[in-house]
Amino acid sequence: MSSKEKEILKIDGDKSSTQFDIIAIEEPLQITISGAFIKNKTGQQNIAVTMRTPGADQELAVGFLYGEGILTAKDQIRNVIFGENRLELELSHSSIDVASLQRNFYTTSSCGVCGKASIEAIAINKTIPTPTQKLQLDSDVIVSLPAKAAASQKLFHSTGGIHAASIFDLNGKILLQHEDVGRHNALDKVIGASCLENLLPLDAHILLLSGRASFELIQKAVMAGIQIVVAIGAPSSLAVELAEEYDVTLIGFLKEQSFNIYNGAHRIIAKPT
């Protein structure tokens, strides 16, 4: 269940009334991995606790582990064990010495895993896909994306308090979308679903973010091979720097007829003025 009904008191000027509102659910999810490569007594390691909207928990966990470089392919997953607000992925192996990372993350819906740990995930991971396609995207396609994404955001329409990450092809056709109270969770779910469907790397696709573009979201996009990231809101300085380092086209403040290109303008075909 992703939402629930709540009785509220609505104030409108000098009038008040009891009404019912639909609110998005936020609950913790503990992500654990297990496997022979984990050198401790239990053969398990807790990786993260994230506050998320329940639903697509497997995709969320897979996407998170992929973004951290712990999981690099679908065939590494041997088993998935579901529990109440818990999910364990049994892996055949990992490309990273998990124990050496000594990381027990606590992530929130507003921030995610921020700072040094995420920066090091890029630096130490050797499987980041290197995009080979030289993409060209018409500006008309870009401005068409928000309306298409909004039409699919059922949870946002009912609650007004949810983020979305959407994957489009280069013609502007929406291929995949997930919603969550956390911006980073929504993207993890999209990347996890892409991993489970053997679609990675997403080097010939467009990522649309429903809010601002933070460092961590660009980090996850880089790990998935995404070359074009479009955000409804603003990018942060670290997001721009990371986009510059990995040659990601980063667009922000997307509106009906306008947007700002912060990096990678060579991929965008603008209308003649």
Catalytic (active-site) positions: 111
**Nearest to residue 231, comparing CAs of 196, 186, 200, 199?**
186
User: DSSP string spanning 125-142?
Assistant: -S----------EEHHHH
What is the Cα Rg of the chain in Å? 19
Q: Name the token pair of 22.
A: 């639909």
Cβ-based neighbours of 185, under 8 Å, separated by 6 or more:
50, 52, 53, 60, 109, 112, 163
Give me the torsion for CA of 230, 223, 128, 61, rounded to 10°: -150
